[in-house]
Structure 1
Amino acid sequence: MQQADAPNQAPTIPFWQAFLFWLKLGFISFGGPAGQIAVMHQELVERRRWISEKRFLHALNYCMLLPGPEAQQLATYIGWLMHRTIGGLVAGILFFLPSLFILIILSWIYIQFGDVPIIAGLFYGIKPAVTAIVFHATYRIGSRSLKNPCLWSIAVAAFIAIFFFNIPFPLIILSAAILGYLISKKYPLLFTQQNAHANTSKRYGTAVIDDDTPPPSHAIFRWGNLLKILSIAGLLWCIPILMLSLTLGWQHTYTQMAWFFTKAALLTFGGAYAVLPYVYQGAVEYYGWLSPTQMIDGLALGESTPGPLIMVVAFVGFLGAFNSALLGTEHLFLAGAIGAVIVTWFTFLFSFVFILAGAPVIESTHNQLKFTAPLTAITAAVVGVILNLALFFGYHVLWPNGFDQGFNFEAALMTLAALIALFKFQINVLYVIFASALCGLLLYLI
């Protein structure tokens, strides 16, 4: 890490050092979006000090507002901020590329050996560990974001709204933004995070991209750059879908996958957990690309592999093409791999557009309260929503067949052990997942 030698010299982070970090992150980013954001905070803010807490949370607030995988978009944002467009592309692509290859292989293994006790046992043990990781990550994000009673109240209200009244996530986000803006007009100090910044500086030290570091030249909004990005993105969407439509037909499964996951990328807010019900309804109930049991197993694969949880769509694309034998019975694996690549392309394309087109606007607002207050309130609301998701996931692990069918004491013990390992001993999530998978395998075989 190289620091500036003069006050007017922009601090720099070596590109290849950042490249190696993003590559590493693609292989270790377990635990869903909450866990992945926590890993990035620990590495980039606390340990490496490449970006300050305030700038990190400002970027996170924006990503939380977008449809699509917020953790992958956050990586894209920070990579772009450090190293322009190439940095954003590298960070964003490496975040999910290892997961794509891993899920293609695991999808094939699942089809061939899904009933083998060893595979089933590993899945049995991984689920409690992931549950503990999501709870731990929720605590970490909440402890950083909820700095006063007002933000705590917003988080609690968001939890009550989604847990008890099932209010749609976009409505919760919009309400939090409006509330943050209105309260900040009368009580601006509640949203300035001055106290949080003081504590952060004391703990972590000066960051390369610090609170007062001016935005780099590429982060300044220009209409010409915006039109260029939108034009390129339009071509990257239009050309593939036109080729699929003209060569295979609009009703072909590959074409319908491209169209369906385009809608999923644009219409679903709240990250992967909000996308999953939409994907389930379309892929299982409407198109019939895979069975309900296969969809649940795919979610388990997505939870137990690195990368964004939304990468479960690669499993959906693989099985949808495989089950339909789109290239004939002699090319089942190739058909599945093409399906996985198609759905991944149309799922993530717009995530890059949102960041590369919108980040310059967001960077210009990080010291303006009228913009930061709504985003700070959104972060508080998202903490409550993530807690709801953690409880939802814990319910399905501890009561896999519903309350009427009894409590899973084995899963509860593994979840408790994982929580102790994370909270008490701060053990790396990879070791927690490995140990839990091994315990699950032993229990399943016994």
Structure 2
Amino acid sequence: MTSTQQKVEDVECSIVINHTPNSGDKETVVDVISNDQRLSEPAYDELKDNSKVPSLSYLQIFILFFNFGILSWGGPVAQIALFKERFVVKGGWITMLRFNRVFGVYQILPGPEATEFAMFFGQLAGGRIGGLLGGLGFILPGFILILLFSYIYEIIGFENDYFNASFRALQPIVAAFVLRAVHKIAEHSFISSRTNKFNKWLFGMAILSSILTALNLNLLITMGVCGIAFMFIDRKLYLIGLLVFLLEFVGFGLYIGFNNGIPSPNSLGIGIAKQDELDSGHVFGLGLLTGSISFGGAYTTIPFLKAEAVNIGGWMTPATFLDAIAIGNILPSPLTMFSCFIGFQAGLKADGGGIGWAFLYAFLITLGVFTPCFLFTIIGHPLLEKLCRNKFMASFFDGIVGSVVGLIAPTAFDLLRSSLITTGAISVKDGNQRNIIALQRGAIAATLYIMTLGALYYFKHRMLSVLLIVIGAIAGQFLFIDR
């Protein structure tokens, strides 16, 4: 037996000895290995072995991931599970250890993880061009479908009672999706990358950022302050970290004092989506910034895009914004693709705009949203992993991801409120009758919301969100049409 073999066996024995009696499965052992900071070189080879990755032509890579894009129903969790089954469990392109490590990096960095995985595997098979083609192939089906749905949404409009009824039923369902997402994101957002354990400071930052978001403090300021503060707190420099928060509170207090009140909802954004400057540059810029701050997944983009497109730009009503999220959930695409619908609406609102401008702006905002994740992934995973494992940067990202939960939570309840208020969609002229119908529809929407939450917590199926959307659209025909 060689010394190298003995060293590997010693590592394996130590893992088994420290393992809990009830966790002998392979995946759990992999998790133990991934948390060990003192692995030997032979164990680390699992993170570098590409011997089972086939060499594919650029066309083959594009077709492969285009097919994945067509089959990517059910949101990011289902999409990532699809990649794991095809490339890790069955194909053996990489080990489970390496898959978990890659997933950990993409959870920290901004961008939709499923698209980043498509690019990662494409890059393994065909280099950087292969990664680019893998990502493009994966998002193209969803982009085409959302463009089509955006056009249908415009030409049919809310004048059609049946179309209107389905979307009225979908709005509380989508609001429930967002609230459930807050819980899901929280499950990993409060785990410190340094200790791999729950961190009470990250939990506190989520609560604090939730309060500040409810008070309309700019989202980027909140994320930045939490990231910087946790860089010090994670190193037990509590006084400096608390001082960072104190400076934020002082600045916020001065703002309130000089402006005689808390900021308006417009303050949650930064004003890219200005009504009087609705042009291609601003639309692309909004997408670029949205993609750059999408820490923790696609749901992070919801409060920012709502602040910009609804509150500041006035490109759409809150109800239409909910419809955009619904369309993003029902189609096989990364959820961030709902931004394509928002760009389409911007083109319709622009001076001299129309369907042509709508298609152009839909393309530009989508290009902006996905540019950051394409750049990050094409740079190469080894460099990204070094970045995320840098002590200061890892803590900075942890603080941002921890604050994300607090950013989304107020928006989840705001979306619920929008889904319950349906007066504007009622065509009855009599005021008293309108109020009665509005109360009835609000009660129905609340019931749909509660039932959806119950289903999301009780049932576990990768197609559940799609099934709920379809059921909701059908139910709307019976619940929101006056017969």
With structure 2 as the length reference, what TM-score do the two structures score?
Answer: 0.59
> Aligned to 1:80, which of 112, 118, 123?
123
Alpha-carbon distance in structure 2 between the residues aligned to 1:169 and 1:437: 36
Alpha-carbon distance in structure 2 between the residues aligned to 1:9 and 1:267: 31
- 2:458 partner letter: I
CA drift of 1:182 comes to 7.1
CA drift of 1:28 comes to 4.3
> Aligned to 1:123, which of 142, 159, 167?
167
User: Residues 420 and 21 of structure 1: is their aligned pair in 2 closer, same or farther, counting only changes over 3 Å?
Assistant: farther
User: Would you say 1:443 and 2:465 are equivalent positions?
Assistant: no
- Is the 8 Å Cα contact of residues 56 and 126 (structure 2) preserved in structure 1? yes
The residue aligned with 1:317 is 343
User: Residues 127 and 23 of structure 1: is their aligned pair in 2 closer, same or farther, counting only changes over 3 Å?
Assistant: farther
CA drift of 1:411 comes to 2.7
The residue aligned with 2:207 is 160
User: Would you say 1:307 and 2:345 are equivalent positions?
Assistant: no
The residue aligned with 1:103 is 146
Q: Report which stretch shifted further, 10-19 or 292-301.
A: 10-19
Q: For residue 341 of structure 1, give the secondary structure of its aligned residue in structure 2.
A: helix
Alpha-carbon distance in structure 1 between the residues aligned to 2:450 and 2:144: 32
Q: For residue 11 of structure 1, give the secondary structure of its aligned residue in structure 2.
A: coil
CA drift of 1:139 comes to 4.8
- 1:135 partner letter: R
RMSD between aligned residues: 4.6
CA drift of 1:414 comes to 3.5
Deviations 1:29-54 (A, max 9, x none): 45555665455456555565544444
> Aligned to 1:412, which of 437, 446, 450?
450
Alpha-carbon distance in structure 1 between the residues aligned to 2:84 and 2:211: 31
CA drift of 1:95 comes to 3.1
Q: For residue 400 of structure 1, give the secondary structure of its aligned residue in structure 2.
A: helix
- 2:419 partner letter: P
User: Would you say 1:359 and 2:368 are equivalent positions?
Assistant: no
The residue aligned with 2:109 is 66
Alpha-carbon distance in structure 1 between the residues aligned to 2:479 and 2:189: 37
Deviations 1:37-73 (A, max 9, x none): 4554565555655444443343334334434444433
The residue aligned with 1:135 is 180
Alpha-carbon distance in structure 2 between the residues aligned to 1:182 and 1:74: 35
Q: Could you say which structure has the larger radius of gyration?
A: 2
User: Residues 137 and 349 of structure 1: is their aligned pair in 2 closer, same or farther, counting only changes over 3 Å?
Assistant: same
- Is the 8 Å Cα contact of residues 272 and 309 (structure 1) preserved in structure 2? yes
- 1:258 partner letter: F
- Is the 8 Å Cα contact of residues 30 and 305 (structure 1) preserved in structure 2? yes
Q: For residue 356 of structure 1, give the secondary structure of its aligned residue in structure 2.
A: helix
Deviations 1:177-209 (A, max 9, x none): 6666779xxxxxxxxxxxxxxxxxxxxxxxxxx
User: Would you say 1:396 and 2:415 are equivalent positions?
Assistant: yes
- Is the 8 Å Cα contact of residues 290 and 369 (structure 2) preserved in structure 1? yes
List runs of 5+ in structure 1 lacking aligned partners: 1-6, 184-249
CA drift of 1:169 comes to 3.1
- Is the 8 Å Cα contact of residues 291 and 369 (structure 2) preserved in structure 1? yes
List runs of 5+ in structure 2 lacking aligned partners: 1-47, 214-220, 238-275, 422-438
Matches within 5 A, 1:338-349: 338-349=360-371
Q: Report which stretch shifted further, 273-282 or 348-357.
A: 273-282
How many percent identity over aligned positions?
A: 22
Alpha-carbon distance in structure 2 between the residues aligned to 1:164 and 1:385: 12
Alpha-carbon distance in structure 2 between the residues aligned to 1:9 and 1:281: 44
- 1:444 partner letter: F
User: Would you say 1:12 and 2:12 are equivalent positions?
Assistant: no
Alpha-carbon distance in structure 2 between the residues aligned to 1:110 and 1:39: 30
Alpha-carbon distance in structure 1 between the residues aligned to 2:184 and 2:477: 29
User: Would you say 1:258 and 2:268 are equivalent positions?
Assistant: no
- 1:73 partner letter: E
Matches within 5 A, 1:113-262: 113-115=156-158, 116-127=160-171, 131=176, 135=180, 139=184, 142=187, 150-151=197-198, 153=200, 156-164=203-211, 166=213, 168-173=222-227, 253-262=279-288
- 2:362 partner letter: A
- 1:357 partner letter: I
CA drift of 1:361 comes to 1.0
With structure 1 as the length reference, what TM-score do the two structures score?
Answer: 0.63
The residue aligned with 2:359 is 337
Deviations 1:403-438 (A, max 9, x none): xx876123312332343332xx77655444434443
User: Residues 88 and 29 of structure 1: is their aligned pair in 2 closer, same or farther, counting only changes over 3 Å?
Assistant: same
CA drift of 1:158 comes to 4.7
- Is the 8 Å Cα contact of residues 63 and 70 (structure 1) preserved in structure 2? yes
- Is the 8 Å Cα contact of residues 61 and 375 (structure 1) preserved in structure 2? no
User: Would you say 1:275 and 2:301 are equivalent positions?
Assistant: yes
- 2:136 partner letter: I
Alpha-carbon distance in structure 1 between the residues aligned to 2:395 and 2:104: 7
CA drift of 1:319 comes to 2.0
Deviations 1:382-415 (A, max 9, x none): 478459747853773488348xx87612331233
Alpha-carbon distance in structure 1 between the residues aligned to 2:311 and 2:465: 35
Q: Identify which of structures 1 and 2 has the higher relative contact order when contacts are C-alpha pairs closer than 8 Å and 6+ apart.
A: 1
Alpha-carbon distance in structure 2 between the residues aligned to 1:387 and 1:251: 31
Alpha-carbon distance in structure 1 between the residues aligned to 2:50 and 2:395: 30
User: Residues 419 and 23 of structure 1: is their aligned pair in 2 closer, same or farther, counting only changes over 3 Å?
Assistant: farther
Alpha-carbon distance in structure 2 between the residues aligned to 1:49 and 1:252: 48
Q: Report which stretch shifted further, 135-144 or 153-162.
A: 135-144
Deviations 1:50-108 (A, max 9, x none): 44444334333433443444443343234324442133213321332222211211111
